Amino acid sequence: MSKKLTIFEKEIMMMLIEGRNYKFIMEWFDLSYKEYKLAKSNIFKKLNIKRSSELFKIAIELKLLNK
C-alpha cells in the first residue's frame, strides 16, 4: 500500500470484501453514486489494484478475513 486508507475507506473496503453491493454501501453511508465511485476509486488507487477481486488478496495479506 502506497498511502494509508482513511477509516471511511477501510469501512467501504470491508463491505466490498463481505460482498455488499454498491446500493447497500450507498444507502449505509448516505452517498450518491458519484461519491461511492470516488471513494472506491481512491481505495483502488491507494491499494494499487484494478478489480474488486483483488481486494480479497489484500484482505488475506492483511489478515482481515476470519477463518
Cell of 18: 463481505
CATH class of this structure's domain 7-61: mainly alpha
Cα torsion for 41, 50, 18, 21, to the nearest 10°? 60
For the whole prediction, is pTM greater than 0.85? no
- In one-letter notation, the amino acid at residue 2 is S
Q: Which residue has the cell 471511511?
A: 8
Q: What are the sequence ranges of the domains in the chain?
A: 7-61
Do 49 and 55 touch, CB atoms closer than 8 A?
yes
Give the residue-averaged pLDDT of 11-29: 96
* pLDDT one-digit tens code per residue, 30-55: 999 999 999 999 999 999 999 988 98
Query: What's the chain's Rg over C-alpha atoms?
Result: 11
- pLDDT over threshold 60, residue 22: yes
